[in-house]
Amino acid sequence: MTAQLHLCILSGQSLPNLLPLCLYRPSRIVLAVSADMQPNVTPFIGTLLRIGLIERPQDVITLPQMPDSDYSQMLAWSRQHLDLVRQCLPDHQIVLNATGGTKLMSQALAVACQEHSSPVLYCDTGHDRIEWVSPQPRLESLPNGLLDSAAILKANGIERDTALSDDVDWREQIKARGDLTRWLAAEVAGSLGSFIPALNNALHELKPESLPVIAAFEKPATHSAWREALRKLESSGLLQLAEPLIPTVPPKMHIESATALQYLRGGWLEEYLWLCMQDAGLVDVHCSLQIHADLGSAEESRLNELDVVVGHRNRVLVVECKTANLLKAGAYNQMLDKLDSLGKRTGGLLTQCWLVAARWPHHSEAQQNRLRLLARNRNIVLVEPRHLADLPQRILNWKSSLKLPLN
CA atoms within 13 A on the CB side of 340: 14
Distance of CA 397 to the CA centre of its chain: 18
109 within 8 A of 133, measured Cβ to Cβ: no
- 48 CB-near residues (< 8 Å, 6+ apart): 18, 21, 29, 54, 59, 60
Residues 291-300: pLDDT tens digits?
A: 987 654 444 4
Residue 202 has a pLDDT of 95
Residue 339 has a pLDDT of 93
Residue count of the chain: 407
262 within 8 A of 170, measured Cβ to Cβ: no
CATH tag, 158-167+268-401 = 3.40.1350.10
From first to last of its 407 residues, the chain has per-residue pLDDT tens of 689 999 999 998 889 999 999 999 999 999 999 999 999 999 999 999 988 999 999 999 999 999 999 999 999 999 999 999 999 999 999 999 999 999 999 999 999 999 999 999 999 998 999 999 999 999 999 999 899 999 999 888 888 899 999 999 999 999 999 999 999 999 999 999 999 999 999 998 898 998 999 999 999 999 999 999 999 999 999 999 988 899 999 999 999 999 999 999 999 999 999 999 999 999 999 999 999 876 544 444 455 889 999 999 999 999 999 999 888 868 899 999 999 988 888 877 789 999 999 999 877 899 999 999 999 999 999 999 999 999 999 999 999 999 999 97
Residues 37-91: pLDDT tens digits?
A: 999 999 999 999 988 999 999 999 999 999 999 999 999 999 999 999 999 999 9
Strands (E), 331-371: 352-357
| Burial (CB count within 10 angstroms: exposed 0-12, middle 13-18, buried 19+), residue 107 | middle
30 within 8 A of 9, measured Cβ to Cβ: no
Selecting from 3.40.47.10, 3.90.1150.10, 3.40.50.10770, 3.30.70.2660, what CATH number does the domain 3-143 have?
Answer: 3.40.50.10770
Residue 296 has a pLDDT of 47
183 within 8 A of 269, measured Cβ to Cβ: no
The full DSSP string for 360-398 is --TT-HHHHHHHHHHHHHTTEEEE-GGGSTTHHHHHHHH
Strands 3-9 and 92-97: parallel
Residue 118 has a pLDDT of 95
Residue 1 has a pLDDT of 61
Q: pTM for the whole thing?
A: 0.90
Q: How far apart are CA 393 and CA 407, in angstroms?
A: 13
